[in-house]
């Protein structure tokens, strides 16, 4: 039923808008699929993943669907010490912003060093999407049913 479909067509755009509003203006927020970029600054990549019915070990509230996203926060420095210091400062700025988003949940930020030398933090987050309210397919019947004929 199309009218019962989750608002998936909106959820990624809403998350990206919220991320861009929450992070420092010198950060870049980019889709992870099909692109990586060399940058002199912090880049926050996002990628939509699976649809889930649990979040942080508990069920998603009735009427909602969880949508997983992977957020990857990357510092450009190839030097491990400098990269770790910079991305750690960045992630400690990002986490309170994520916590302030009422329909977004996360429980782990994993530090990863890429083959290219950059240090990153990867976060698996779940964003809740409310199902659309069903819309009637026909006008309500306001006429009473005729009474059966008496024999």
Asked if pLDDT for residue 131 goes beyond 80, the answer is: no
Dump the DSSP string for the chain.
Answer: -GGGSBSHHHHHHHHHHHHHHHS-TTSEEEE-TT-----SS-EEEEEEEEEESEETTEEPPTTEEEEEEEEEEEE---SHHHHHHHHHHHHHHHHHHHHT-TTEEEEEEEEEE-TTS-EEEEEEEEEEEEBPPP--SS----SPPPPPPP-
pLDDT tens per residue, range 18-60: 999 999 999 999 999 866 667 778 999 999 999 999 988 899 8
Asked if pLDDT for residue 15 goes beyond 90, the answer is: yes
Assigned architecture for domain 2-130? 2-Layer Sandwich (3.30)
Domain boundaries, the chain: 2-130
pLDDT tens per residue, range 62-116: 888 899 999 999 998 989 899 999 999 999 999 999 999 998 999 999 999 988 8
pTM score of the predicted model? 0.79
């Amino acid at each position: 039923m199309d009218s019962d479909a989750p608002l998936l067509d909106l959820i990624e755009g809403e998350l990206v808008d919220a991320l861009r509003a929450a992070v420092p203006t010198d950060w870049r927020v980019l889709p992870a699929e099909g692109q990586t970029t060399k940058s002199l600054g912090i880049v926050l990549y996002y990628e939509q993943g699976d649809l889930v019915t649990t979040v942080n070990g508990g069920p998603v509230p009735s009427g909602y669907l969880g949508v997983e996203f992977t957020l990857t926060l990357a510092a450009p420095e190839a030097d491990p010490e400098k990269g770790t210091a910079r991305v750690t400062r960045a992630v400690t700025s990002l986490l309170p912003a994520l916590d302030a988003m009422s329909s977004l949940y996360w429980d782990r930020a994993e530090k990863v060093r890429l083959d290219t030398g950059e240090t990153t933090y990867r976060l698996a987050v779940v964003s809740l999407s409310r199902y659309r309210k069903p819309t009637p397919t026909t006008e309500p019947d306001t006429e009473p049913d005729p009474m059966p004929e008496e024999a």
